[in-house]
Amino acid sequence: MSSRLAYPLERAAHWDTALCLRCNRMSRRAVTRTVFRVASRLGDGVFWYTLMVVLLARYGMQALQPVLHMMLVGLCCTVLYKWLKQRTLRPRPYEAHPDIVASGKALDRFSFPSGHTLHAVAFSVVALAYYPALAPLLLPFTALVAMSRPVLGLHYPSDVAAGALLGIVMAGASLYV
């Protein structure tokens, strides 16, 4: 790697770690830790599966296309993030930095990208394309899921940003197709 590129990358890594540590310190308060653990747990899929069932119960067959769309995007996102994690092999923050404490359970071994954020953003984009009135529910929940990752010490902020960007791209591409 050229020295001109090395310094900016080192600075970015330093910033990423410092911001992750700052976020992680928030988890020292029991109430904060609990809120983000719940958001993270719901973001494991419980919230999204429940949303799909509620949409089907409320709108019947009209919700079938949006729900199938969400399921297909979710499957594609899972394949993408697992592939990326196996290529990047980035350790989780709590494994690489002793000052960062894991306050939640990791679903897999590697950090990059945040699968929770990727799915939350992708599901929200697709759901909002069909049901814009859900924005007051989905946008704050998606933000909580994304914030939970560095707060709980499970991801760096750059993992979350990459997950969000990939979620937008995946959902956007699915809506375009």
- We report the CATH number of the domain holding residue 123 as 1.10.606.20
Place of tokens 């079938």: 64
- Write out the chain's pLDDT in tens, 177 residues: 456 666 677 888 889 898 889 999 999 999 999 999 999 999 999 999 999 999 999 999 999 999 999 999 999 999 999 999 999 989 999 998 899 989 888 888 899 999 999 999 999 999 999 999 999 999 999 999 999 999 999 999 999 999 999 999 999 999 998
| Structural domain count, the chain | 1
pLDDT of residue 19: 87
pLDDT of residue 5: 62
pLDDT of residue 4: 67
pTM across the whole model: 0.92
N- to C-terminal Cα separation, the chain: 38
pLDDT of residue 81: 92
In which domain, by residue range, is 82 found? 3-176
